């Protein structure tokens, strides 16, 4: 399953990047993320790791999942990627979250003062390689994306 979502905001790209590059912030703006905590690093990790508790409820159906996610790409200020990397020697379905931030400069006016603020666009792509969650995950993610936009903009705007 692949999901793509985007968001435009008048926040500067560096502020957007600061929030999405730290999985520790995701529980603040995504209800599906129940808890995030730093994970013990592994010698094979290209970046920091987190334990992420996902939780979902759709009607009477509830699911939860703990993933060990590692930041595999961190090209500040415009690209970050997280990939599932559990250390238990079992085969696991892929989870890949990829975020790209692009900045649009302020529109110049007739003088030195811009007439419009700079804007940033965030595009997030989630790939889930399993089948267990798919029937409820698609609908849940669509609802979650709608609900999370305002919380993310608020978090970015507060400088957290």
Supply the range of the domain harboring residue 76. Answer: 2-107+116-157
How confident is residue 2, by pLDDT bands cut at 50, 70 and 90? confident
The string of pLDDT tens digits covering residues 109-148 is: 555 665 556 689 999 999 888 876 666 677 777 788 888 8
Domain count, the chain: 1
DSSP string, the chain: -EEEEEEEESS-HHHHHHHHT-GGGHHHH-TTEEEEEE----TT-SS-EEEEEEEEEETTEEEEEEEEEEEEEEETTTEEEEEE--SSSS----EEEEEEEEEEPPEE-SSSSEEE--EEEEEEEEEE--SSSHHHHHHHHHHHHHHHHHHHHHHHHTT-
The CATH number assigned to the domain holding 31 equals 3.30.530.20
Average pLDDT over residues 48-68: 87
Write down the pTM of the prediction.
Answer: 0.85
HSE-CB for 45 with a 13 A CA cutoff:
19
- pLDDT for position 95: 93
């Amino acid at each position: 399953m692949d999901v793509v979502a985007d968001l435009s905001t008048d926040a500067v790209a560096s502020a957007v990047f600061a929030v999405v590059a730290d999985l520790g912030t995701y529980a603040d703006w995504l209800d599906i993320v129940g808890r995030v905590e730093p994970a013990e690093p592994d010698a094979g990790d290209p970046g920091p790791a987190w334990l992420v508790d996902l939780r979902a409820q759709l009607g009477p159906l509830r699911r939860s999942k703990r993933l060990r996610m590692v930041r595999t790409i961190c090209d500040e200020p415009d690209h970050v990627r997280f990939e599932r990397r559990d250390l238990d020697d079992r085969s696991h379905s892929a989870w890949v979250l990829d975020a790209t931030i692009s900045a649009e400069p302020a529109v110049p006016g007739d003088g030195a003062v811009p007439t419009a603020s700079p804007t940033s666009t965030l595009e997030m792509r989630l790939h889930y390689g399993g089948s267990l969650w798919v029937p409820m995950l698609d609908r849940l993610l669509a609802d979650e994306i709608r609900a999370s936009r305002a919380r993310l903009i608020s978090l970015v705007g507060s400088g957290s």
